[in-house]
Structure 1
Amino acid sequence: MGDGLAAASHLCTAAFFDRPVLAVAPDLLGATIRHGPVVVRLTEVEAYGGVDDPASHAARGPTPRSAVMFGPPGRAYVYLSYGIHWCVNIVCGPPGQACAVLLRAGEVLAGRDLLRPRWPTLPDRDLARGPGRLGRVLAAGPTMTGTSVTGDGPLTLHRPALDADPGAVARTARTTRIDSGPRIGIRTAAERPWRFWLADDPTVSGPRRPPARS
């Protein structure tokens, strides 16, 4: 990376993403995503299944928009939400399963000086807080859809260097526990506890406490 972060991280491989989406999603917490000089540490993600998940864009099978979800893992799926925000997802699992992880929030670690002129009054914690803002600081757009995040595309994902096992939780990058709860911002199958976040992290966009158990 050339900025001191390189020594502390490993580039994620396609094998990292070629696993069940509910394994990949929490393992992305504490990982970093980069576009050019901007680096964001991920603090909140949300998992989506394929045709068996009614909330997924892949629920109706391949369409011009969702076709990338049916392709190989480790590719970016970027879509426009409410006609305003570009949201970044990472395709997981073997080809045909059409699972993906939505990147919901993070902490800007590098490139903040480049972002400040555009959003001078926004607190640091809010720069990438929420999927729309996260996509915005990464300068996400439709041309990123289908590009690899394992080293050949504009976005790259990195996990802590001491986390040698692709399936291990990146404990070296965080000191707090992982919580999970219902997905938010959707009307269908929202009750699935497929949103994962770093407990009590101020950059998390949704509720930071898991739902009370009855």
Structure 2
Amino acid sequence: MIDNILSFTNLSKTISSVSNQIIFSKIAGTVPAGEKIVFVGPSGQGKSTLLRILGLLDEADSGEMLLLGKPLHEWNPQAWRMNVCYVSQTPVMLEGSIEDNLRTVSRLHHTEYDPAYAAHLMSSVGLGDMGLSKEASTLSGGEKQRVALVRSLLLRPKLLLLDEITSSLDDVSKYAVERLITDINRQEGTGYAWISHDRDQAARIGERVWSLSNGTLSEGGISCL
């Protein structure tokens, strides 16, 4: 049995267009199976960049990553992204309806679309009354965040990388998203690393803390918040 879903060592990233500004240097971390990580730290320190690298949406300058005990070079990128899903704070809706967007992951990854599960997820995030034929481009920012989350959850990934995904939501919708993700964590063992600048939310959703500041990643218990 593999204890860690994901691990990384010696990851470094610079912005070459800005005088080789170092975002982070030689950082390391692990995500045990089912771990609930809240990711904190000042804005502009590279939290989103790190999650995008872990989700293979950006590339580190150096370092190693392992998923389910296998190094990155042994993974097909598509297979990696089926297991590790990054959900952006400002998600992109594809052209077409909400259902077109939800079906996208099935088309890309050649998996069967589950309309009943999609309906359950949409209802769980407070969008159960929204017709799936609605044009995705007309959604509000908060609705797009929730549809993007549902789109990723349809893959049933082993790890979610969540980038301030409730920043545009009112309290009712925010708590609904938190309940859904923590329920999936408990029922299916899906782990997550969740960027949040909301201390109350961090205390509710996290068991372990990552903090990224001045190019260094530190880890600790939730009591350090």
TM over 0.5: no
For normalisation by structure 1, the TM-score amounts to 0.26
Which structure has the larger Rg? 2
Q: Which structure shows the higher helix fraction?
A: 2
For normalisation by structure 2, the TM-score amounts to 0.25
